[in-house]
Amino acid sequence: MQEDCKEELMNQYEVEETVRFIRDNRFQKVCLQFPDHLLSDSPQVVDELERRSEAEFYVLGDTAYAPCCVDVIAAQHVAADAVVHYGHACLSPSRDLPVHYVFEKKNLLHMEDLVHFLKQSSASHLVVLFESYYGHLQGLLFSHLECHIPEKTIIPVHFRKPSVTDDLESAVETNIETQSRKYTIGHLEFELDLSISTEQLQFVWLGSPSSSSYLRASLSLYPNALDCYDDSTDSWVLANGSATNTFKKRLALVSRAQKSCVFGIVVSAVATTGVLDAVERCEMLLNKFGMEWYVLNVGKPTPTKLANFPEIEVFVLIGCPESAFLDSKSYMKPILTMAELELALDSRVYYTDIGSIHDFRDTLSRSVIAKEQVLDDDNENVDKFCEEDTSNALNKSSLGRGLTAHNISSSLSATFLRHRTWNGVEEEASEENKPHSSKEGKSGIPSGYNNEGSGFS
């Protein structure tokens, strides 16, 4: 029984593959990053790795950012050579450390129910996407579907497990020569023929409808609907325009941002490739349109942390695509993505692929507005302008939108934030609080100090 548990642990955490990764690259210090629900297995995993490797291991828990992101900052505290990330991952590429991913593994319990539902579909082509913990069943899943649903075409979906040098991003690429469109959504990759109409297609997601991966996939496939089958509860959740509702909420936040002048750029994934470029892009945009802006690094964003900056009217989040859309109801101020910031500032901006607005790396490469356009001559008309001088009140109409900038008679919030400082608990030196030389105090016990009488007359 004990041997079976050990073998299951070895397979679940891919111990042999991890040891090979460490030996081949001659790593000496390796951090093992576990999500909270797998942290209890970390002692056994470390024991097995130490028996097979001479490397020094450190366990990371309670990550500074989202658990799907690699906590490079914590790994650098111990001068680690590499990180092994366990569990679900957003696969945002790290620019500082090599990363080895070990995905969680689960089994499909109701395969026949899935087949029964897909048989009833009117679509002739099926695209079955899945959570990362079903990746090890990829071959079995699609061979089973092809065998039991021969009347439908099952589009192959490949589970991509990145190596040290891979740079995975969410992307949609159209190949004109082959008349096909290639989708890369995190750990999944598939290709669709452009001749297949929307009516002939059905997209299905295997996993939880509340997961960040499902939201990421549904937005990337917009306007196509993504129905969800939750195997753990054996239930179906139809899309019912959930992605459309999400975009409507985001556009409402964009509308609020169009009337704002003080922005905070929140960096929630410092070590991710492209973050510095994204921050620079936001700074150029905000400078171009005369906005007040500040860069904040607060770790994992929370309503409490961001509430410490009441003067900031809109936050722009630079982070992984699976944590880009924070629940706006929990926060005092709107939180936008970089793409939404461009939409709010410049009426000339539009996106041919609206499903990519949650990933700042896609925005950097796919935004229709070019970087040179942001650096155009400052004399051309802009959508909005907020005067920094508090004595001047401006009222300019927006080009193409009919919007009106704030009538700012006094930009008190921006001025206050600019001059707000914290000096700590140190008091200013003055005659009143000037320190005195030390002198002898009382001695003895409270019931009768040595320099006090007995208390009786």
Amino acid symbol at 245: N
Q: Which domains does the chain have, with CATH numbers?
A: 2-102 (3.40.50.11840), 111-240 (3.40.50), 249-419 (3.40.50.11860)
Strand stretches in 176-225, DSSP E: 180-185, 188-193, 201-206
Q: Which residues of 133-161 are buried (b: 16+ CB within 10 A; e: fewer)?
A: bbbbbeeebbebbeeebeebbbbebebeb
pLDDT (tens, 9 = 90+) of the chain, 457 residues, equals 466 678 888 999 999 999 999 999 999 999 999 999 999 999 999 999 999 999 999 999 877 677 888 888 889 899 999 999 999 988 888 877 899 999 999 998 888 888 988 888 889 999 999 999 999 999 999 999 999 999 999 999 999 877 554 444 455 555 555 578 888 888 899 998 888 888 889 999 999 888 888 888 888 888 888 999 888 888 888 876 667 787 788 888 888 888 899 999 999 877 777 888 889 989 998 998 889 999 998 878 889 999 999 889 999 998 888 877 777 678 889 999 888 888 888 766 555 555 566 777 777 765 544 444 444 544 444 444 344 433 333 333 333 333 333 434 335 555 656 666 666 666 666 666 777 788 888 888 887 777 776 555 4
Percentage helix, strand, coil for the chain under 3-state DSSP, each rounded to 5: 35, 20, 45
By DSSP bridging, strand 448-449 and strand 335-336 are unpaired
- At 261, list the tokens: 């002048």
Show Cβ contacts of residue 331 under 8 Å, excluding neighbours closer than 6 positions: 303, 306, 315
Global pTM value: 0.76
